[in-house]
A and B are shown apart, each in its own frame.
Chain A
Amino acid sequence: AQKITQTQPGMFVQEKEAVTLDCTYDTSDPSYGLFWYKQPSSGEMIFLIYQGSYDQQNATEGRYSLNFQKARKSANLVISASQLGDSAMYFCAMREEGGSEKLVFGKGTKLTVNP
């Protein structure tokens, strides 16, 4: 069964510094995708970044990068140059690429950016 583990319930970072949010996953399927979403207090889930299991390069999207270590089954999100607007819940999710769009989510990490 698929499982996503986010071990950091809360994280604090100073504005303009980088922060890493941890995510480990478990699956027996060789083909899968990993996602990170941001959820501000308004509730909307905002897509940040995607990494496919067969991608050779780590994914990057602006200030977001994904540190993908396949052998360790980890997919950590790195946010560079944190901004006050980055304060939110962050969720890691996985989809097994068997045709269904079903995502399995971790419990999330609450990030607080301090001025």
Chain B
Amino acid sequence: KAGVTQTPRYLIKTRGQQVTLSCSPISGHRSVSWYQQTPGQGLQFLFEYFSETQRNKGNFPGRFSGRQFSNSRSEMNVSTLELGDSALYLCASSLVSRGKKTQYFGPGTRLLVL
């Protein structure tokens, strides 16, 4: 089974621009979560989508938004980019394996804002 995929892998933007990141979960998974990882703040939860509905949201400004499509693929959008948005953005989908529900992550998208 293919793992979680994320595109693009690397991205360079300038302040004020917007960016869209994509995540395709493991086939059959309906839950996708997004995380931001920075050296200063560590790993922080952005939001979670399940069956096209946002189920949970972290403490991020409204510039960060997301959505999920009927095939479970998810996108996150960051508008009016700031230097502090430079980070590794990770998405994860959930898998039930041997009766346990675990989360598997994609390779991440490294965003650099100049």
A100 to B54, CA, bound (A): 10
* Closest A residue to B110 using CB positions: A43
Q: How many residues of A contact B (CB 8 A)?
A: 24
**Shortest Cβ distance from B66 into chain A, in angstroms?**
14
A115 to B12, CA, bound (A): 37
A37 to B88, CA, bound (A): 16
A91 and B43 contact, Cβ closer than 8 Å, known pairs A35-B102, A44-B107, A47-B102: yes
Q: Which of B43, B50, B102, B107 has the most CB of A within 10 A?
A: B43
A99 to B110, CA, bound (A): 29
A101 and B92 contact, Cβ closer than 8 Å, known pairs A35-B102, A50-B102: yes
A31 to B33, CA, bound (A): 20
* Closest A residue to B9 using CB positions: A43
Tell me whether B74 is interfacial, beta carbon within 8 Å: no
Q: Mark B90-107, 1 if CB is under 8 A from A, else 0.
A: 101010000011111111
- For B110, list chain A residues within 8 Å (CB): 43
Interface contact B101-A44, CB-CB below 8 Å: no
**Shortest Cβ distance from A108 into chain B, in angstroms?**
7
Interface contact A101-B48, CB-CB below 8 Å: yes
Q: Mark A31-56, 1 if CB is under 8 A from B, else 0.
A: 00101010000111111001010000
A44 to B88, CA, bound (A): 10
**Shortest Cβ distance from B40 into chain A, in angstroms?**
11
Question: Can you give 13 contacting A-B residue pairs, CB < 8 Å?
Answer: A43-B90, A43-B108, A43-B110, A45-B90, A45-B92, A45-B108, A52-B100, A101-B31, A102-B33, A102-B58, A103-B35, A106-B42, A108-B42
